[in-house]
Amino acid sequence: MTNNARGGSDSPKITVDVNLPVPPFEQVRRQIADLITAGVLAPGLRLPPVRQLAGDLSLAVGTVARAYQELEGASLVVTHRGGGTTVAASAELTAEGRATVLAARADEYVAAARRLGTSDDEAVAAVRAALDRT
């Protein structure tokens, strides 16, 4: 799921930026939650073990464990003793849910662009450039 942890180039990537004011556990939690609510991670899919994901991200095990605990508290994942952590069956989301997640990320991007003092044209150009790169 991260840094090709599952081996495929199409696997979703989780990244952590230590320069952000957002704590690493929250960055991990948010990205996994977004992948689940957007339907990228399907119900029943097994997430990487805490130790593996922590190693892949160069984070402390406790940091990833906290992210998983928060996801479990939000009923997005289920942890089975000895069976790992899987995406909860109730975590399926509609296109409307994906649109909500996308709108929230867009709001965050616009807020960051405003803090940088960019114009609307510059912000839109940055999005178009990002779309062209992927």
Three-state SS across the chain?
Answer: CCCCCCCCCCCCCCCCCCCCCCCHHHHHHHHHHHHHHCCCCCCCCECCCHHHHHHHHCCCHHHHHHHHHHHHHCCCEEEECCCEEEECHHHCCCHHHHHHHHHHHHHHHHHHHHHHCCCHHHHHHHHHHHHHHC
User: Would you list the domain boundaries of the chain?
Assistant: 24-91, 95-133
Q: pTM score, two decimals?
A: 0.67
pLDDT tens digits in sequence order for the chain, 134 residues long: 754 344 444 667 899 998 888 899 999 999 999 898 888 898 999 999 999 999 999 999 999 999 999 999 888 999 988 889 999 987 655 666 667 667 778 888 888 899 999 999 999 999 999 999 98
Q: So what's the architecture of 24-91 in CATH?
A: Orthogonal Bundle (1.10)
Compute and round to an integer the Cα radius of gyration of the chain. Answer: 16
